[in-house]
């Protein structure tokens, strides 16, 4: 498929684009915090990838390559729009009734988990950019440290260190919610 | 300090970036350290909840719109690429124009610099062989009296010059002339040699 796309086959590239548009959109959303901006970045990423695919060496992974383009474009976008207020849309999903009810056994636990997720989403958005990007690539995009390092332009050990620091920051911010969640779960276990 | 190192190992464990040896070490430590156990539990919960935060999905109509815009952009980009492919044709046209210009310039310069302004008689003489030019000269002399007169005058002058030079040489002895010439040659050449003949021997 990549070879066909490299030969200029638009349909072949559309197949690749439909496979990667969602993860790229999610990464851009995690980094910009805005759905519209993320859509624009995702579209620009695909266009850039289409223009540059002839230069893509099959030695590296297409997945990592596309994410690197997306990351660089997001970085440029954020530099250009530094003064602009980034909208926080991360809580939209919680209005969806289906997601509210998923996998929770009791109303009390459901409410506490919801609160934890709400604050976790907020805490992730508040992480410094370098830590947020590492966290997004590893946790949300499922990349290994070395893959994330290739996207971010640093080593795998740097990603490992950023992940450790990001988790410490998240734990610190979520301490009250983690404790209440633990208490509820302990009580649930007793019952 | 020691626990900080294990805390980082917990983070690596959650990302699947821990070797089996390190994993055994961590498990051994966790069995005895309650602080690290609590840390591990908290991070596991954060990891679990974070994984559940999948991020926004494309709605079907958003997906269609995204793909439609993308396809339009690709086609536009492809059309641009097609246009850029035509560029060599334009570049091919330019050397043709350049070659035409150079040729025109060469013709103009040749007309300017090679245009012969000499009288037609002389031009004719230049184009002919020695015999032809002599014939042509005699024709010109026959046709134009002023040319004939100047030609005769030049001829008489050259004969006079020849006679004067012979008269000057007649008064001198030939032996004296040779000696003078030899002395002049010695002065000019042999005395200026860097390595005299003696040293060479």
Lookup: tokens for B124: 């004719």
Q: Which residue has the higher pLDDT, B122 or A84?
A: B122
Residue of A nearest to B68 (CA): A14
**pLDDT score of B39 more than 70:** yes
Contact between A117 and B62 using a beta-carbon 8 Å cutoff: no
Q: To probe the interface with A, which of B4, B34, B55, B65 has the most A CB atoms within 10 Å? A: B55
In a domain, B122, yes or no: no
- Considering the domain architecture, whether residues B109 and B148 belong to the same structural domain is answered as no
In a domain, A97, yes or no: no
Distance separating alpha carbons of residues A164 and A118, to the nearest angstrom: 22
* Domain end among A80, A95, A127: A80
In a domain, A95, yes or no: no
In a domain, A93, yes or no: no
Distance from CA of A80 to the nearest CA of B (A): 23
Residues of B within 8 A of A39 (CB-CB) are 62, 66
The domain total for chain A is: 2
**pLDDT score of A93 more than 50:** no
- Considering the domain architecture, whether residues A185 and A128 belong to the same structural domain is answered as yes
pLDDT digits (tens, 9 = 90+) for B42-83: 999 999 888 888 777 777 787 888 888 878 877 777 655 555
pLDDT digits (tens, 9 = 90+) for A147-188: 999 999 999 999 999 999 999 999 999 888 877 666 656 665
Give residue A73's domain range: 2-80
Contact between A167 and B43 using a beta-carbon 8 Å cutoff: yes
Distance separating alpha carbons of residues B63 and B175, to the nearest angstrom: 120
pTM of the model: 0.60
pLDDT recorded at residue A169 = 94
Contact between B71 and A14 using a beta-carbon 8 Å cutoff: yes
Query: Percent of chain B scored above 70 by pLDDT?
Result: 72
Q: Which residue has the higher pLDDT, A60 or B125?
A: A60
Q: Report the range of poorest mean pLDDT among A81-90, B33-42, B65-74.
A: A81-90
Other C-beta atoms within 10 Å of A88: how many? 13
> What is the arithmetic mean of pLDDT over B81-92?
52
Residues of A within 8 A of B57 (CB-CB) are 22
Residues of B within 8 A of A12 (CB-CB) are none
Q: Which of B15, B42, B50 sits opposite A178 (nearest CB)?
A: B42
In a domain, A33, yes or no: yes
How many Å from the N-terminal Cα to the C-terminal Cα in chain B? 99
**pLDDT score of B157 more than 80:** yes
Q: Which of B16, B53, B74 sits opposite A10 (nearest CB)?
A: B74
- Considering the domain architecture, whether residues A74 and A10 belong to the same structural domain is answered as yes
In a domain, A85, yes or no: no
Q: What is the CATH number for A180?
A: 1.10.10.10
**pLDDT score of B135 more than 80:** no
Contact between A139 and B50 using a beta-carbon 8 Å cutoff: yes
- Considering the domain architecture, whether residues B113 and B145 belong to the same structural domain is answered as no
pLDDT digits (tens, 9 = 90+) for B97-121: 888 889 999 999 988 887 766 666 6
Q: Which residue has the higher pLDDT, B79 or A71?
A: A71
Interface of B with A (CB under 8 A): 7-8, 11-12, 14-17, 39, 41-43, 45-47, 49-58, 62-63, 66-67, 69-71, 73-75, 77-78, 81
Q: Is the ipTM of this complex over 0.85?
A: no
pLDDT digits (tens, 9 = 90+) for A97-142: 344 444 444 555 556 677 888 888 889 988 999 999 999 999 999 9
Q: Which of A8, A51, A171 sits opposite B43 (nearest CB)?
A: A171
Distance separating alpha carbons of residues A151 and A140, to the nearest angstrom: 14
Distance separating alpha carbons of residues A81 and A85, to the nearest angstrom: 8
pLDDT recorded at residue B64 = 82
Query: Percent of chain B scored above 90 by pLDDT?
Result: 20
Q: What is the mean pLDDT of chain B?
A: 77
- Considering the domain architecture, whether residues B146 and B170 belong to the same structural domain is answered as yes
The domain total for chain B is: 3
> What is the arithmetic mean of pLDDT over A66-74?
92
- Considering the domain architecture, whether residues A128 and A178 belong to the same structural domain is answered as yes
3-class SS string, chain B: CHHHHHHHHHHHHHCCCCCHHHHHHHHHHHCCCHHHHHHHHHHHHHHHHHHHCCCCCCCHHHHHHHHHHHHHHHHHHHHHHHHHHHHHHHHHHHHHHHHHHHHHHHHHHHHHHHCCCCCHHHHHHHHCCHHHHHHHHHHHHHHCHHHHHHHHHHHHHHHHHHHHHHHHHHCCCHHHHHHHHHHHHHHHCHHHCCCCHHHHC
Residues 6+ apart with CB under 8 A from B32: none
Give residue B26's domain range: 1-54
In a domain, A16, yes or no: yes
Residue of A nearest to B56 (CA): A26
**pLDDT score of A91 more than 50:** no
- Considering the domain architecture, whether residues A131 and A60 belong to the same structural domain is answered as no
């Amino acid at each position: 498929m990549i070879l066909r796309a490299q030969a200029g086959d638009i349909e072949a590239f559309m197949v690749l684009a439909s496979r990667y548009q969602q993860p790229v959109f999610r990464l851009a959303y995690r980094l910009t915090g805005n759905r519209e901006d993320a859509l624009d970045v995702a579209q620009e990423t695909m266009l850039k990838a289409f223009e540059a695919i002839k230069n893509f060496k099959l030695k590296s992974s297409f997945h990592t390559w596309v994410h690197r383009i997306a990351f660089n474009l997001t970085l440029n976008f954020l530099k250009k729009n530094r003064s602009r207020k980034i909208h926080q849309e991360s809580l939209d999903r919680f209005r969806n009734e289906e997601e509210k009810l998923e996998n929770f056994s009791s109303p009390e636990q459901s409410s506490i988990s919801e609160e934890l997720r709400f604050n976790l989403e907020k805490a992730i958005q508040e992480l410094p950019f370098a830590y947020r990007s590492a966290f997004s690539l590893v946790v949300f995009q499922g990349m290994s440290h070395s893959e994330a390092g290739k996207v971010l332009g640093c080593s795998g050990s740097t990603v490992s260190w950023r992940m450790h620091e990001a988790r410490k920051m998240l734990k610190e911010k979520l301490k009250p919610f983690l404790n209440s969640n633990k208490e509820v779960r302990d009580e649930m276990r007793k019952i | 300090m020691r626990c900080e190192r294990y805390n980082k190992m917990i983070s690596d464990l959650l990302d699947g970036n821990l070797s089996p040896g390190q994993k055994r070490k961590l498990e051994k430590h966790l069995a005895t350290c309650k602080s690290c156990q609590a840390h591990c539990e908290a991070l596991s919960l954060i990891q679990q909840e974070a994984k559940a935060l999948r991020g926004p999905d494309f709605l079907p109509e958003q997906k269609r719109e995204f793909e439609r815009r993308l396809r339009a952009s690709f086609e536009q980009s492809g059309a641009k690429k097609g246009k850029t492919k035509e560029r060599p044709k334009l570049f091919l046209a330019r050397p043709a124009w350049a070659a035409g210009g150079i040729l025109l310039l060469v013709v103009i310069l040749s007309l300017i610099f090679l245009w012969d302004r000499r009288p037609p008689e002389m031009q004719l003489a230049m184009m002919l062989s020695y015999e032809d030019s002599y014939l042509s000269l005699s024709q010109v002399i026959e046709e134009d009296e002023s040319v004939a007169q100047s030609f005769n005058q030049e001829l008489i002058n050259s004969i006079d010059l020849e006679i004067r030079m012979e008269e000057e040489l007649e008064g001198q002895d030939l032996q004296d002339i040779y000696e003078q010439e030899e002395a002049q040659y010695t002065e000019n050449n042999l005395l200026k040699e860097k390595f005299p003949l003696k040293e060479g021997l």
